[in-house]
């Protein structure tokens, strides 16, 4: 049965009755980058942006045998499902079956008088496998590498002077054994009896870290150059299948159709991961088209978020996320899919160090470090999810499947973990803090999810005013409420809100709710507009120099539509005179000729009336600095002309009421080229200046001396004087 409920309109109808200024802001968590910023416990986030219950996991008790080890380098399983763990740096092999663990290599002595050699210093078991007869093969690495076959007694079946490390063991269909070794990058082939060793490829790499065999062809991954080789062991010829542009290829798998999956990594990834905020689960938009997918919708009940698009009453606010840039090839771990015809697809990339790769049940399983994460990758859809994350160990260095469960070998410290197909019965997700910017009323939360019969999703929430949910001032978690409809976020008014989802599975049916989207609403009470700046100055336009240009900037925390009222007054007076009302632009030109000269100031008042009712309308004001309106030219207060022979000396006192003097020029007898005069102190810098001007070599007769005096704003006055030369 599939039930749908949809809200009638908008996100929350309770908000629509409010004034428009109290705008509902919706925060949506609908992508992997949104959910990955939260905290998961027994839940996982997929790269398709869904949240669901995780697979069950538990630490396997190995009876203290891993206490002295640093790492479980390798895990192998025999035909009966018995596990063998290869460790380091003590080079032990531990057998685990039926809930009991015991050491099988080096074997403990049964003679009480014999000194036990159960611990070997600084040696490692990087590789384990079984031969055609089901006997365990142990690759021991250290000062001298060796292959040990374990039957009734350990037997060294391979040693070579050029081999210190055995990193990989693989077998072909005929039972031949292949070894990937170091430090000379040699690939050896042994017959099914581990005899007659021969080098089938000598790489330029120092080490061959990984091997896989398919249809008689050996696939190998090297170190230093990150090359993936395709080797024909019979002809001993090799070709580079792919250059990963990284340091190492630690794992290779080949499926039944011959598709190669190779994990590549680099030392730089470890350094970069320390800087990264977390797993990005980066995914390109869309998904691959797979013809075998029916596209049928789930039969689970669905909770649906109404009206996902922006409406007039709703503003979608994308949460701030620390979305990392796409990882660079040289600093990220990658998994490549290589088809038999050589076509390469990058199906996984994370800033992580890659260690182990397992292929089973149509999925790839990837162990990484240095955050102890285990990924599931669907190679068809390229979807990925963190299915397990260890908070104690740093690396997942090996993995194997036995009886439907996956066993993980962990390092730093060494541990064995079992991951089951069964899902956890209950898990939680704590969201990242939702920031309203200032104290807000929190509205309703709703989810879009598939909820199978018997499953349930509950929600609790809390709030606070500091960006730290662990701060003691945060409110307590609210009582959990089952989600079946939009649900009120029952937390106090505060700037930050956090929700917690609890996912519960059905009884024993291994089902999980699947959360695709979460929306949370908040409203901020109406806040007054702010006028941020006001500037008034005389226009620089020569065609209208008398205009006063008024420019201002304003803002509103509620994003309300604003209008403005302008008023003016003469400096020193109390009352304001309306200049302009209902102005909808942050600028205005005022004709300065409409008032007398003087010092003035302008007040700009912003209101949010258009987005509010009269009862809730708020205003904010700001007053400009004092400015001058000066439309009058300077005056010549005193003029004294003295004729001395054919020369004339002119003494002037020029004053302006409000503006600094700008220039004084004169002409004689209407000469077209005026002569500029300087004040006696040589600087135009005051409202009043004195001038001493000497005009020489005038001819006999009457003459006219014309003066133009201007202030700094360009207001100009003209005055003429007549003199007679005898």
pLDDT in tens, 495-510: 999 999 999 998 767 8
Question: Does pLDDT of 7 surpass 50?
Answer: no
Longest Cα pair distance anywhere in the chain, in angstroms?
Answer: 147
For 313-327, the pLDDT digits (tens) are 343 333 333 333 344
In total, the chain counts a number of residues equal to 726
Answer with the residue of higher pLDDT: 375 or 46.
375
Rounded to two decimals, the pTM is 0.66
Is residue 560 within 8 A of residue 611, CB to CB? The reply is yes
> pLDDT band at 224, cuts 50/70/90?
confident
Check residue 315 and give its pLDDT. Answer: 39
683 CB-near residues (< 8 Å, 6+ apart): none
Count of alpha carbons within 13 angstroms of residue 487, beta-carbon side: 24
Average pLDDT over residues 295-309: 45
275 CB-near residues (< 8 Å, 6+ apart): none
CATH class name, domain 530-629: mainly beta
Average pLDDT over residues 382-398: 89
Question: Does pLDDT of 289 surpass 80?
Answer: no
Average pLDDT over residues 472-492: 95
The CATH architecture of the domain made up of 4-43+425-523 is Sandwich (2.60)
Q: Which fold has domain 635-725?
A: Immunoglobulin-like (2.60.40)
For 108-125, the pLDDT digits (tens) are 755 555 444 444 468 999
Check residue 383 and give its pLDDT. Answer: 86
3-state secondary structure 305-361: CCCCCCCCCEEEECCCCCCCCCCCCCCCEEEEEECCCCCEEEEEEECCEEEEEEEEC
Assign 429 to helix, strand or coil.
Answer: strand
Which of the listed CATH numbers 3.10.580.10, 1.10.10.10, 2.130.10.10, 2.60.40.1260 matches domain 60-108+119-280+300-311+334-423? Answer: 2.130.10.10
> pLDDT band at 284, cuts 50/70/90?
low
Check residue 655 and give its pLDDT. Answer: 96
Is residue 94 within 8 A of residue 62, CB to CB? The reply is yes
Question: Does pLDDT of 286 surpass 60?
Answer: no
**Which one-letter DSSP state was computed for residue 595?**
S
Question: Does pLDDT of 294 surpass 80?
Answer: no
For 336-363, the pLDDT digits (tens) are 999 999 999 999 988 889 999 999 988 9
Average pLDDT over residues 167-180: 97
Question: Does pLDDT of 93 surpass 50?
Answer: yes
User: How many whole angstroms from its chain centre is CA 696?
Assistant: 80
Domain borders along the chain are 4-43+425-523, 60-108+119-280+300-311+334-423, 530-629, 635-725
Question: Does pLDDT of 527 surpass 90?
Answer: no
Average pLDDT over residues 125-137: 95
Assign 183 to helix, strand or coil.
Answer: coil
Least confident of 283-287, 399-403, 666-670: 283-287
Angstrom distances, CA of residue 175 to CA of 217, 438, 641: 13, 70, 125
Question: Does pLDDT of 379 surpass 70?
Answer: yes
> pLDDT band at 283, cuts 50/70/90?
low
Question: Does pLDDT of 308 surpass 60?
Answer: no
Q: Is it true that 530-629 and 635-725 share their CATH fold?
A: yes
Check residue 116 and give its pLDDT. Answer: 45
> pLDDT band at 288, cuts 50/70/90?
low
What is the percent of the chain with per-residue pLDDT over 90, rounded to a whole number?
Answer: 71
Question: Does pLDDT of 298 surpass 50?
Answer: no
**Highest mean pLDDT pick, 171-180, 277-286, 300-309:** 171-180
Question: Does pLDDT of 31 surpass 70?
Answer: yes
């Amino acid at each position: 049965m599939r039930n749908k409920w949809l809200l009638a309109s908008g996100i929350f109808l309770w908000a629509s009755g409010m004034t428009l200024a109290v705008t509902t802001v919706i925060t949506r968590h609908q992508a992997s980058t949104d959910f990955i910023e939260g905290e998961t416990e027994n839940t996982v986030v997929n790269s398709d942006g869904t949240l669901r219950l995780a697979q069950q996991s538990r630490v396997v008790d190995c009876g203290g045998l891993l206490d002295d080890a640093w790492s479980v380098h390798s895990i192998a399983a025999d035909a009966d499902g018995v596990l063998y763990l290869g460790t380091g740096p003590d080079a032990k092999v531990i057998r685990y079956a039926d809930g009991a663990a015991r050491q099988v290599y080096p074997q403990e002595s049964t003679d009480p008088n014999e000194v036990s050699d159960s611990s070997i210093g600084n040696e490692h078991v990087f590789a384990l496998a079984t031969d055609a007869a089901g006997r365990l093969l142990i690759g021991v690495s250290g000062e001298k590498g060796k292959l040990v076959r374990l039957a009734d007694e350990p037997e060294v079946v391979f040693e070579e002077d050029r081999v210190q490390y055995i990193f990989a063991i693989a077998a072909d269909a005929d039972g031949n054994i292949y070894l990937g070794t170091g430090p000379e990058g040699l690939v050896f082939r042994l017959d099914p009896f581990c005899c007659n060793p021969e080098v089938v490829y000598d790489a330029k790499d120092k080490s061959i870290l990984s091997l896989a065999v398919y249809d008689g062809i050996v696939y190998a991954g090297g170190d230093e150059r990150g090359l993936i080789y395709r080797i024909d062991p019979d002809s001993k010829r090799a070709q580079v299948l792919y250059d990963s542009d990284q340091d190492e290829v630690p794992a290779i798998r080949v499926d039944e159709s011959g598709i190669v999956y190779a994990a590549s990594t680099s030392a730089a990834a470890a350094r970069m991961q320390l800087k990264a905020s977390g797993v990005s689960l980066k995914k390109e938009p869309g998904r691959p088209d797979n013809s075998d997918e029916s596209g049928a919708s789930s039969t689970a009940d669905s909770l649906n978020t109404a009206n996902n698009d922006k409406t007039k009453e709703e503003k979608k606010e994308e949460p701030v996320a620390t979305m990392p840039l796409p990882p660079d090839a040289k600093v990220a771990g990658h998994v490549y899919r290589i088809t038999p015809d050589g076509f390469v697809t990058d199906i996984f990339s994370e800033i992580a160090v890659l260690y182990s790769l397992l292929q089973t049940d149509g999925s790839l399983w990837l162990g990484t470090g240095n955050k102890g994460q285990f990924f599931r990758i669907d190679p068809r859809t390229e979807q990925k999810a963190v299915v397990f994350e260890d908070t104690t160990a740093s690396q997942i260095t090996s993995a194997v499947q036995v009886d439907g469960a996956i066993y993980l070998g962990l390092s730093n410290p060494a541990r064995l973990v079992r991951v089951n197909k069964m899902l956890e019965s209950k898990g939680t997700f704590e969201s990242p803090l939702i920031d309203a910017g200032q104290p807000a009323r929190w509205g309703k939360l709703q989810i879009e999810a598939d909820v199978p019969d018997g499953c349930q999703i509950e929600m609790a929430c809390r709030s606070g005013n500091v960006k730290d949910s662990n701060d003691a001032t945060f409110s307590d978690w609210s009582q959990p409420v089952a989600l079946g409809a939009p649900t009120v976020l029952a937390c106090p008014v505060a700037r930050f809100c956090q929700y917690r989802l609890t996912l519960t599975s059905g009884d024993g049916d291994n089902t999980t709710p699947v959360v695709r989207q979460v929306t949370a609403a908040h409203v901020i009470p109406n806040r007054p507009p702010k006028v941020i700046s006001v500037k008034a100055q005389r226009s620089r336009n020569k065609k209208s120099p008398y205009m006063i240009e008024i420019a201002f900037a304003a803002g509103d925390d509620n994003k309300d539509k604003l209008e403005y009222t302008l008023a003016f007054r003469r400096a020193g007076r109390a009352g304001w005179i309306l200049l302009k009302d209902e102005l909808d632009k942050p600028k205005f030109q005022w004709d300065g000729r409409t008032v007398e000269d003087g010092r003035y100031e302008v007040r700009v008042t912003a209101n949010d009336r258009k987005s509010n009712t009269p009862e809730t309308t708020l205003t904010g004001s700001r007053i400009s600095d004092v400015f001058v309106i000066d439309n009058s030219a300077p005056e010549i207060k005193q003029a004294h002309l003295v004729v001395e022979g054919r020369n004339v000396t002119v003494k002037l006192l020029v004053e302006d009421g409000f503006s600094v003097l700008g220039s004084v020029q004169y002409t004689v007898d209407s000469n077209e080229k005026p002569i500029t005069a300087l004040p006696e102190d040589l600087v135009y810098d005051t409202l009043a200046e004195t001038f001493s001007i000497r005009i020489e070599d005038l001819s006999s007769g009457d003459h006219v001396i014309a003066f133009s005096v201007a202030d700094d704003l360009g207001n100009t006055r003209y005055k003429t004087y007549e003199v007679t030369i005898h």
